[in-house]
Amino acid sequence: MKFFFPDSQDLVSPAYDFMRDEYPAHRVRQRDDRYAHEVLDHAPYHGILVSKSIVDGSIKGAGKYTTAQRARMHRMGVHKFFRLPPGVEALGDNGAFNYIDEPTPPVTPAQTLSFYEECGFDAGVSTDHVVFGFTESTDGEDANPDWEDRRRLTLRLAEEFISLCRDRASEVEPVGAAQGWSPATYADSVRALQDMGYRRIALGGMVPLKTREILASLQEIGAVLKAGTHLHLLGITRVDSMDDFAALGVTSFDSTSAFRQAFMDDRKNFHTADRAYVAIRVPQVDGNPTLKRAILAGNVSQKEAIIAEREALKALRVYDGSVASRRACLDRLDEYRVICGTKKSYRDAYEETLTAAPWTRCACKICRDHGIEIAIFRGTERNKRRGFHNMSVLATKMAQLKSHRSTNG
């Protein structure tokens, strides 16, 4: 099972000063900053997924790349732009969620393929249009007519895309996009794509589905799946179900879940092989909107807030695992929380995190280099590094699943 990480310009600065929370004066973001595969001992993914809409923009507006970055991407090619190590694949797609509300995709198969070719992608997903709903009903009575229109449009675009690949003798491996609104329609899409000549198929629109619905669809697809056809799950992780997915023909997936949980989840911020821990929140005084408003209104002393912030960080940095040291951390964190005006207390969860001290047992380079800083929920540099750490944990889990499958035949 291969894991692809969707690009969203997620980098960290190797020269960031954690003590002062400052970047170097002459930092150039993409040139000087580093991707996960550059800061970890080994790339935590088999490939990256780059969406055309992220690079070139879409109907909703500009993408996440600056004009200079976009030009450099097209000039250098995706492998050099991302400084990818050998063996890490570049997979492209359209980023269909960026135009999900449009009646038709604002990009043609020809434009899609040109983007892939100009940027030197190894493989690229055909232009597709996301289906909004799903039903397990076999008669289709619950289906919205628009769902079927989008599915059939996606198939027509896929047929045009693979024809262009053949006409141009393109070096980009075509990946057919399969949309569906039921197990039967997903199976029909896969059958049609195989008949067109696709041997690599990406299943889209499954992110909102329950695991049992995904499995039901994969089981239905299994009845038409040809030997040698590889299935990719777009936007799906669900590690606990990966063995089941693999048994039903899935060979790869992409997801930002492990990365995003580092700073988007309320609880599962710091991943380990056994469980996830809450990251310890120490917001910056000048980065907390509620606190800034309170300071400007004269309700909180800026000096007291800065002192409390520094004392919380100091207590964490000298934490030695003892009961007294742990209590000092928790007390300083509580004091700062009150000054910040945060009503919700994480004291019990923080005690679990500090007691376990998972950063001390982690072998990844990020934890080795930065220790407890990675467990602190504070600004993009720590949060993204924690996300990279989470991906390294996911990579280890995936390798263990592969080993388990091999051992158990």
Burial track 137-167 (b if 16+ CB lie within 10 A, e otherwise): eeeeeebeeebbebbbbbbebbbbbbebbee
For residues 372 and 389, give the distance between their C-alpha atoms in angstroms, rounded to a whole number. 13
Dihedrals φ, ψ of 170, to 5°?
A: -65, 145
Q: What is the DSSP letter of 58?
A: B
- 203 DSSP β-pair partners: 178, 233
| Residue recorded with tokens 């996301």 | 130
Q: Are 128 and 108 in contact (CB under 8 A)?
A: no
| Residue recorded with tokens 């996606």 | 154
Q: What is the DSSP letter of 224?
A: T
Q: Whose CA is closest to 67, among 76, 77, 55?
A: 55
For residues 284 and 306, give the distance between their C-alpha atoms in angstroms, rounded to a whole number. 9
| Number of Cα atoms under 13 Å in the Cβ half of residue 33 | 17
Q: Catalytic amino acids? A: 93, 254
For residues 94 and 56, give the distance between their C-alpha atoms in angstroms, rounded to a whole number. 10
Q: Are 224 and 190 in contact (CB under 8 A)?
A: yes
How far is the CA of 374 from the CAs of 124, 259, 322, 382, in angstroms?
A: 35, 13, 20, 5
Q: Are 95 and 58 in contact (CB under 8 A)?
A: yes
- State how beta strands 173-178 and 200-203 pair: parallel
> Tokens for 118?
């100009």
Whether the CA torsion 372, 375, 377, 381 is positive or negative: it is positive
